Structure 1
Amino acid sequence: MPGWTQQELDELDRAGEVRVAGRRADGSSRSLTIVWHVVVDGDLYLRSVKGPEGQWYRGVAHHHEGFLRWGSTTREVTYTPDSSHDDAVDAAYFAKYGTGSATQSLMKAEARQTTLRVDPR
């Protein structure tokens, strides 16, 4: 599977938010939802602020495939649970979005358990 290009990672790192959606059984896209994201060690990560009960997260977790949009670019992606870089993901969220209550919500245990690595398909 091809990875992100450096140009894509740079664009994603600069983007304030992305839109994500899971894939339905028929291959179509669920509704795109805005989420915060970070780039860590050349990989893209995101979390559900509502934990596993977040609607977009449930949709993504069903097939672990879907779509990611930033700017005018949409890519088909896979979503893989990956807690191996949680501390670095925490630090990246704080560096990108500050230490306010919204970012703090992404550090709660229920949000951390939804850390996903997003890879292009």
Structure 2
Amino acid sequence: MTWDAQDLTRVGGAEELQVSSPRKDGSDRPFVTIWTVRAGDDLYIRSAYGPDNPWYRRARHAGIGRIRAGGVDKAVTFTPIDAADTATQEAVDAAYHAKYDRFGPQIVGTVTGAASHDTTLRIDPR
């Protein structure tokens, strides 16, 4: 499934995104607020603190969840992007820099560069 143009613009333009993944019983976990970027017609998220960040581990393991941003509330899938996919990783890095560089290199550096590439997830509506 792909994003419709309006939701893609709203979520991609939102300053922050809230992400949740399901518990074992199927209920939603509390939302966690993170950054999100749009690269082309896709939306991406990364873990600012590496692959051991609890929200990231849960989202990666479940492969599904919910997001809220820009007035959009959607059930989504989380698809890991191979760190070796340099074209996508560079596009996501550039999108993070364009959107968030005003917060300074120390903060933006937590979601850009080779160390963050292993935690890149594409979010798609389901």
TM-score (norm 1): 0.92
Percent identity, aligned pairs only, is: 40
Gaps of 5+ in 1: none
Correspondence list, 1:33-44, <5 A: 33-44=32-43
The residue that corresponds to 2:17 in the other structure is: 18
The one-character-per-residue Cα deviations of 1:50-102 (angstroms, maximum 9, x if unpaired) are: 11110100111121111101143311100010133000100000000015211
User: Please, which of 101, 104, 119 is the counterpart of residue 114 of structure 1?
Assistant: 119
User: Please, which of 80, 88, 94 is the counterpart of residue 91 of structure 1?
Assistant: 94
C-alpha contact 2:7 2:72 (8 A) present in aligned 1: no
Q: Greater shift after overlay, 107-116 or 25-34?
A: 107-116
User: Please, which of 99, 102, 116 is the counterpart of residue 107 of structure 2?
Assistant: 102
Correspondence list, 1:54-93, <5 A: 54-83=53-82, 84=85, 85-93=88-96
The alignment's C-alpha RMSD in Å is 1.4
DSSP-derived class of the 1:86 partner: helix
Q: Per-residue deviation at 1:111?
A: 2.3
Match of 1:67, as an amino acid?
A: R
DSSP-derived class of the 1:52 partner: coil
Number of residue pairs matched by the alignment:
120
1:30 and 1:80 mapped to 2: Cα distance?
19
C-alpha contact 2:17 2:68 (8 A) present in aligned 1: yes
Q: Per-residue deviation at 1:108?
A: 4.7
DSSP-derived class of the 1:9 partner: helix
2:71 and 2:117 mapped to 1: Cα distance?
29
1:108 and 1:37 mapped to 2: Cα distance?
15
Gaps of 5+ in 2: none
TM-score (norm 2): 0.88
